[in-house]
Structure 1
Amino acid sequence: MSEKSFFRAEHISAGYGKKTVLHDISFSLKAHTLTALVGANGCGKTTLMKCIANQLNHGGKCVLEGEFLEELSVKELARKVSYIPQKSGIMISLPVLDVVLMGFNPVLKLMQRPSKEQEERAKDALVQIGLGGYENIEYLTLSEGQKQLVFLARTMIEDTSLLLLDEPDSALDLQNRHQIMKQLKEMTREGERAGLLCLHDPNLALRFCDQLILMKDGRCMEVLHPSENSLEEMEQAFQKIYGDVSLAECTDKKNRRHLTVLWEESV
């Protein structure tokens, strides 16, 4: 399997009832890369995520390392794809460590408990995301930002090929947003995997992602590669979905290049 065809979404269309939300979307992901779905509210980003995770009926196919995801069982899919929605759905009282250990469920047998080694891996993941010592804290008592970090720790221990995260930064402060993005970028560099994120902040996408898929009205408007596309090309692409915006280039103290989207405001 070549790197170019690690994952492909082919002609994805979907909707709710009689309303069509996604219109014939196709794109591909390379291994070892992080890709952002970018666009305004209601453009179809979350719906597309649900299709790829096979949680919503859809037209078209999703192909991961040569396998059609639509043909896999729930457990087989969970072994290959990590999907973290906007809300965890956990409504019962559980210790933080137990929530992280759920990441091992696809490889455990019925009623089998995680091993000591797996528990240590879960604890190490909590340390890496800054929640060391939270193992016995009740998950439901955490802030929304801390809950997102717990699910990042769960994702870290899952040995899957495709990471799907819907707005993983939404409840985080500036420092933790950058922390979670750096961690995800590192995760996609290790092993044979790719990451796909829904992001509202285009600046975060430009800073950390290898590829940006710009969406509007349920359609893929542009696919950008910040390391390859010119500033003018990317600015024109962003104007298709955000209107009167411009892109600026700057450097940090270490002389690294960064791109920033600037919104024009009427006086």
Structure 2
Amino acid sequence: MSEKNFFQAEHISAGYGKKTVLHDISFSLKANTLTALVGANGSGKTTLMKCIANQLNHGGKCLLQGDSLEELSVKELARKVSYIPQRSGIKISLPVLDVVLMGFNPVLKLMQRPSKEQEERAKEALVKIGLGGYENMDYLTLSEGQKQLVFLARTMIEDSSLLLLDEPDSALDLQNRHQIMKQLKEMTREGERAGLLCLHDPNLALRFCDQLILMKDGRCIEKLYPQADSLAKMETALKEIYGDITLFPCLDKKGTCHLTVLWEG
């Protein structure tokens, strides 16, 4: 795992109209790591994601491998950054395979169709996330959880360096939540890549992520590293967001230790 900063957000501030939502946020990501933005509703997580994806005007700058994301063209940005919002925005009937194949759009020329090899890669991605055989189904007929899995498959075929996912687990059942997190962690370990995602469940963040960025009232109040920080430090920091909680280690059936948050309220 590289020690050099792969991505840097420097003094990000943003808002809507006259209301400031983000206040001078700075952080960095290492290559081959997965980082979670955690915080209560309204803490600014989604707004920060939009700033990094350059979908919202903001102060400060975002650097990916030294390149300013704010200065890239739309197509250049799409090649380097994969952004999956909470809702896909797709409102017309499309086969599931076509939705996944959109992941190749940044590398295709105008009106160029994906190749047979690219179609095979898209089908393999659907198999990996448990939707093999869904290629010809209408995307709009899927459940919200299945739609999220389709977009994970789309992300898997992209060669982008920075993965941004806003609550990828929100509509998934328990088994699929863990499956999607495993897939994302594996993806960030491949090549020169880093992942950043918004999560509401701190247990998922503690189990699968290398770094947690804690947000409150539009500010970054703490950065945690589950593999290195003490239990006491993490519990104190998480209480700033979640209130009266207890953080404790527990063992699964394989004897692997996981950190678990227990709400006391």
Q: CA deviation at 1:74?
A: 0.5
Q: CA deviation at 1:245?
A: 1.2
Q: Which residue of 1 aligns with 2:5?
A: 5
Q: Give the secondary-structure state (helix, strand or coil) at the position aligned to 2:90.
A: coil
Q: Which residue of 2 aligns with 1:256?
A: 256
Q: Which residue of 1 aligns with 2:19?
A: 19
Q: Which residue of 1 aligns with 2:131?
A: 131
Q: CA deviation at 1:4?
A: 2.5
Q: Which residue of 1 aligns with 2:181?
A: 181
Q: Which residue of 2 aligns with 1:83?
A: 83
Q: Give the secondary-structure state (helix, strand or coil) at the position aligned to 2:159.
A: coil
Distance 2:119 2:239 in 1: 48
Q: Is the 8 A contact 1:4 1:28 kept in 2?
A: no
Q: Which residue of 2 aligns with 1:33?
A: 33
Q: Is the 8 A contact 1:13 1:58 kept in 2?
A: yes
Q: Which residue of 2 aligns with 1:46?
A: 46
Q: Which residue of 2 aligns with 1:142?
A: 142
Kindly indicate whether residue 224 of structure 2 is the aligned counterpart of residue 242 of structure 1: no
Q: Give the secondary-structure state (helix, strand or coil) at the position aligned to 2:4.
A: helix
Select between 162-171 and 256-265 the one with higher mean Cα deviation.
Answer: 256-265
Distance 1:242 1:143 in 2: 30
Distance 2:47 2:3 in 1: 26
Distance 1:15 1:109 in 2: 35
Distance 2:251 2:34 in 1: 22
Q: Which residue of 2 aligns with 1:203?
A: 203
Q: What is the root-mean-square deviation in Å for CA atoms of aligned residues?
A: 0.7
1:144-184 deviation line (CA, Å, top 9, x unaligned):
00000000000000000000000000000000000000000
Q: Is the 8 A contact 1:36 1:199 kept in 2?
A: yes
Q: CA deviation at 1:220?
A: 0.2
Select between 126-135 and 246-255 the one with higher mean Cα deviation.
Answer: 246-255
Q: Which residue of 1 aligns with 2:161?
A: 161
Q: Which residue of 1 aligns with 2:118?
A: 118
Q: Which residue of 2 aligns with 1:220?
A: 220
Runs of 4 or more, structure 1, over 4 Å off, are: none
Structure 2: tracts of 5 or more residues without a match: none
Q: Give the secondary-structure state (helix, strand or coil) at the position aligned to 2:137.
A: coil
Q: CA deviation at 1:3?
A: 3.9
Select between 105-114 and 2-11 the one with higher mean Cα deviation.
Answer: 2-11
Structure 1: tracts of 5 or more residues without a match: none
Residue 75 to residue 3, structure 1, CA distance change in 2 (3 Å): farther
1:56-104 deviation line (CA, Å, top 9, x unaligned):
0000000000100000000000000000000000001000000000000
Q: Which residue of 2 aligns with 1:194?
A: 194
Percent of aligned pairs with the same amino acid: 86
Q: Which residue of 1 aligns with 2:56?
A: 56
